[in-house]
Amino acid sequence: MRQHWFELLFAAVTLSASMAGAAAGREDADLRRSQAAIGRLAGNWQLLDQRGRPLEFAQLNDKPLVVNFVYTSCFQVCPATMQFLKTAVARAREAVGQHAFRVVSIGFNQPFDGPEALADFARRQRIDDPDWLFVAPREQDVDALLQRFGLAVQRTPSGFDHLIQSSIVDPRGVIVQQVYGDSFALPMLINPLKQALTGQATETPSVQDIWTKVRLYCTVYDPYTGRYKLDYSLFFELFAGVTTLGAIGWFLVRSLHRT
């Protein structure tokens, strides 16, 4: 009898180890697939927003984007993830500007994640933000869209299994960063948004462009408050630099007059 129980225990442990190894291997493969998407063009896709209006993905490329994938029938992980992302987005807007970037949540469970379902999902999450779009792709585009963003989705009896991932897309339409998890350190989202914004090339920078860059470079993350604040040390460094250059210039001018 003891040998029988030992054999059962050994089989259970072996099966558990095998399942854990398979899960870890799939997670590693999913992560590699996700990372491989960095540097790709996000592409142009035919979409419907939560009001049923047609939209092309390329129309959104005038600003950096935070892109995530949802399915509206998710009642556990997705709502918690969206609530954290909503907080992170609010902090990012404080750091880089209220309308400096857009968020695009894509419903991938087609045809069920249509405009009405997405609008209801946004209401349930209490997201009312003109720069946060909930969009439905065409059903025939879903697999290619997921592939482009490097997201592997596996159907399970309870819904879908996939990495919790938000993709940062710069104004050129290039995927430049992946952010993972249902919670993360805010700089992981905000820093790539800063880089995407400051990397924009403008032929004639306006005063607003310059001020935006100053704000982006002069804010630092305070882990104690979870917010971004102005880094006044840069202003002191600029003042000291200008003062030093002025003193050197004054000295050179006086020296020239004496000779």
Each residue's pLDDT tens digit, 58-84: 999 889 999 999 989 887 777 888 999
The full DSSP string for 136-197 is EE-GGGHHHHHHHHT--EEEETTEEEE--EEEEE-TTSBEEEEEESSS--THHHHHHHHHHH
Please list the alpha-helical segments (H only) found in the chain. Answer: 2-36, 77-96, 115-124, 142-149, 187-198, 207-217, 232-258
Asked if residue 37 lies in contact with residue 148, where contact means CB atoms within 8 angstroms, the answer is yes
- CATH class of segment(s) 46-208: alpha beta
Residue-level pLDDT at 53: 96
In this structure, of 19-23, 38-42, 242-246, the range with the lowest mean pLDDT score is 19-23
Whether pLDDT at 3 is above 70: no
Higher pLDDT, 20 or 84: 84
Band (pLDDT 50/70/90 cuts) for residue 155 is: confident
- pLDDT tens string 106-146: 999 999 999 999 999 999 999 999 999 999 999 999 999 99
In degrees, rounded to 5, the angle at the alpha carbon of residue 58 between the alpha carbons of residues 54 and 64 is: 115
pLDDT at residue 169 is higher than 90: yes
What are the sequence ranges of the domains in the chain? Answer: 1-36, 46-208, 218-259
